[in-house]
Amino acid sequence: MHTTSSSTHFVTSRVILDAQAKASYAPLENHAGKRALVLGGGGSAGNAWLIGVLAGLAQAGLDVTETDLMVGTSAGATAAAQLGGASAAQLFENILAATLPQPRTAAVGGSGASSRQTSNHMERTAKIIAAAENPTDMRRGMGSGALEMAEAWGEDGRSSWRRTVAARFSSQDWPECTTLLTAVDAGTGEPVVFDSESGVDLADAVAASCSAATAYSIGGRGFIDGGYRRNENADLAAGFERVLVLSPFGGRTRHPLEWNMQLAAQVDELRSGGSAVETIAPDPASLEAFGTNMMDLSTRIPAARAGHGQGEALAPQLAEFWG
């Protein structure tokens, strides 16, 4: 993994909705504590892998969901919300129980659908990244296209996406531990964070964090995938003694390394600030389970099983770190 020191300052605001449901921004408070769990994005396969790893760790006696802070991005935001109403073991069993074939539509971690749509989205966003001068420019480019698609999507599409997202977790209440779910304002390109104090329903926050192709409207503003803020957003755990990062994409980035969007730069920053950091990336068995399209719902069972095995194997060496 490439490691580079970061000199880039990332400003993030919490989104707060007023009585007129218009989004406004407030500075994100600095959190501090002993343990933070960071759940990165990675589509349907990545969400299942995250659940599998957490369940495998718990099976081996290490429950890392007992944490002071959870940071969730895209598929990781879905996982964080799911953990608010069920244990990792329960969520893992739910994945294994979903044995019937499922269509490749409304996949976890994005509002895209088929393999072809996923390919088109990747091609379009690659051009935006290549043409951008910096992360803010890139985010605005991503947001502009997503807002255009939202116009065609309409309110029916938004409502359908929200129902799909809300059905993924049993409790619609924010998790008890401090939970930060990332997104980006599609209009301004400003990185934002939703939390329990935002006045935003959990389902809306997750839907926004997962909206890779189409902007999701909350309070009259459009929001897009939190992975456009930074890939795993582990830097939001600054100030915590121990930070465990689960990255379905294994720290890979599509952005120029000098932008310091990649996980390695975030880990450098955390360690420079005094945090002890451990990361978990997919092993070869998990990568094989993912296949070539992480949005494909048929990958969920093999990805969860591979993640479970990986979590069980890693538990002994992480036990002392997590404390």
> Cα–Cα distance between 10 and 199 in angstroms, integer?
24
Active-site annotation holds for 74: yes
User: Looking at 74, 209, 275, 286, which residue is catalytic?
Assistant: 74
> Cα–Cα distance between 159 and 163 in angstroms, integer?
6
User: Looking at 185, 195, 204, 225, which residue is catalytic?
Assistant: 225
206 token code pair: 């997750």
Q: At 279, phi and psi to the nearest 5?
A: -125, 145
Residues making up the chain, counted from first to last = 323
Active-site annotation holds for 225: yes
Any idea which residues carry the catalytic annotation? 74, 225
